[in-house]
Amino acid sequence: MPEIPQIEVGDILEMKKNHPCSPKSTRFRVLRVGSDIRIVCENCGRDLTIPRIKLEKNIKKIIRPEKADAQP
């Protein structure tokens, strides 16, 4: 059974396909998580709402931001 990716608000998603705004634009920041996931293009700022199942199929890599409040 395939692993379900854990997507959280603030994550950066690197997609398999690039956004039409630029040939190198493959990164999107997560704004909202639910049955639909709201993401914004890191290059042009375009806001997209995509069904979770469709989005999960197109994710190449999930980049988690460093937590500023984490204690060593």
Which CATH number does the domain housing residue 51 bear? 2.30.30
* CB-based burial, 13-38: b 16+ in 10 Å, e otherwise: bebeeebeeeeebbbbbbeebeeebb
**Domain containing residue 45:** 12-63
Q: Are 26 and 60 in contact (CB under 8 A)?
A: yes
pLDDT value of position 28: 95
Number of domains in the chain: 1
Residues of the chain with pLDDT below 70 are 1-2, 67-72
In this structure, is residue 28 part of a structural domain? yes
In this structure, is residue 5 part of a structural domain? no
In this structure, is residue 4 part of a structural domain? no
In this structure, is residue 59 part of a structural domain? yes
In this structure, is residue 72 part of a structural domain? no
Query: Can you tell me which residue has the tokens 């997560």?
Result: 30
pLDDT value of position 72: 53
**pTM (two decimals):** 0.81
Phi, psi of 15 (to 5 degrees): -95, 160
